[in-house]
Structure 1
């Protein structure tokens, strides 16, 4: 595309002017016919990453299965037939396949951090341009487009329709920067949910993303296999994906995915269960990470494990090391990520001296049952979002010692009791999450 022009700005505010083409008041009536009164229609001409999905010449499993509706062209959005967000190869054909025309487009705006591949501008379209960060473009159709600064190269666009419907579009790999003030929730957000889930966390933190905001995943790449796995990952963030060519009405409440309030993630050693649990909350701000393992003085290998976990967590998360879970579950607050129940059980069994046969028979077993019942009752009654991790044991070699068998049996009972109080239950095997309950 070469060097792209920026929009011109008049002394009295932004003008609907790009590349030397301006629109006078006499054009307003004709232009308004392109805007649907009472709603904003968004047509997703493409929903894929800049290279598309499948990527050309990529042999990975995700690309090999990205067929039919799972195939995605580079993301481009058509708003009310008047504003085109990102010009991609084949945009005119994509619009035709979706039953739309680019003939009424009055503004073509780019969001990508680069000019992209050379794309021939279809006849009749204005040349692509950018709105400077923080500035607002007013169109004679009644639409307003404000450029939102990003924390990475690129531009986000907040589009407000003639009747106030609000759409936010974020570029690939970008998250909003400088969101300090609380704002009203957007009706719809189209963003790189898989690549930058923390963008949703930032929007949630200031109230820009609410429970009825329709979050549409775009810029989809081969990081996640299409189909069931993609839907599951997006639902955990309260988002969804739609096929290329879909037309959505901004401001009309859709079936926004419910984020499960209580989730138990099970798995064996190095199965990926902790990563899966963290992934379920990475689009939410102010998560409280509850580490039940504590510190082990002199154990350098354990210290390295803890360090890896800490480095993986978003910077906005807080960490507390405790096995006293019941008070946390009873009080209000941000989501809890508990990692893990197996270490909580070790502490609970230590507290009742469960390793001694006489102590176990003389009241230790009864005391442990009481601790587990207290924990599961708190999970049942909690108002917080909870994601807990635990080891799935008992499928392999029978422990050689009585204490080992006792621990194995009690962990199985704890997992079953905790799972009974959760809406969502996952088993992670070889890095792959299998849904046992909760879709």
Structure 2
């Protein structure tokens, strides 16, 4: 069957999916969980082979994916609905019921960095909502996506209602303009995401994009916790994470001690065989990506930044790099590095640090390490981000939470329950 026939079949399953009961959808999602658990080692190995992700992080990704489908199996039974009286004004006393119906076929476009769980975050809500879905995976990691779709199709989905197609950029742009699709869910770069949104017409669009996420350490921060979490947030999977901890702002009273401890903790990261469960750090996805990151590091140093550690590239490996004395205009500060680079700067007042977080075209998540409720509330009410994470890095994500950004970082929200809502249309009955 060619691509056009696959898409025709996908679209034709909409009515059958709409007729499914919540029980049926939930049962399919539970069966996918069972199959994923049975294939955990095999899937983790495939993730590592395709994405160059250390096996310990690949195993975590499979576990998260299972949890994503578990959440969806529960949320499939909680379709949003509302009952209310319409007797607030003069006239006949009527009642209203709002129920939500599937929006129709969905396009799900995913990147390479979480090739299983980010596909799960498109597929699971679509199944729970009763929508057919076409997954367009990253060309760097297509086999993981194909494997997940195969598992779904063996778990009771209606034949042809979930497909994975490898498409060219031109084919994607054509598909996004296809009026038979009711929604587009895209995870990837800001430039591509906003371009696709502009072409999507009347479709419901969800964009989960990138950023230059920051964390703040206040005087009451637990330094030991902050050092460990900022090491993971800054360098897990070589920083190729959209909520990678890229900027750290440390109160001047803690700055020297934090930097000293941080560099020691970074030095403990183990580089080596990606299939070794003890390996923490490895190559970037391509040498081209590594060259770009190296260029940004060199550019920052040429413009006056101080290199505290790293700054060296070997093929597609960029060693963990920390810079200070940076300027807001430097690309390592204002753009999304998407690599193992962290900038650390000191501040005097919390307002100054929050202003630095906000001095960005992005706004995905931010972290604040503090023991002060007033500082937490100030950050929450003043940070221009989709989420504020307390006593952890912005790299934190639980798969059931609403997840998404503002400004250039996104449009709409993911997180299973919230993604399901994006794929449903409310309809009112008055009687």
After TM superposition, is the score higher than 0.5?
no
Greater gyration radius: 1
Q: Which of structures 1 and 2 has the larger relative contact order (alpha carbons within 8 angstroms, sep 6+)?
A: 2
Name the TM-score, length of structure 1 as normaliser.
0.31
Name the TM-score, length of structure 2 as normaliser.
0.31
Structure (1 or 2) with the greater helix fraction: 2
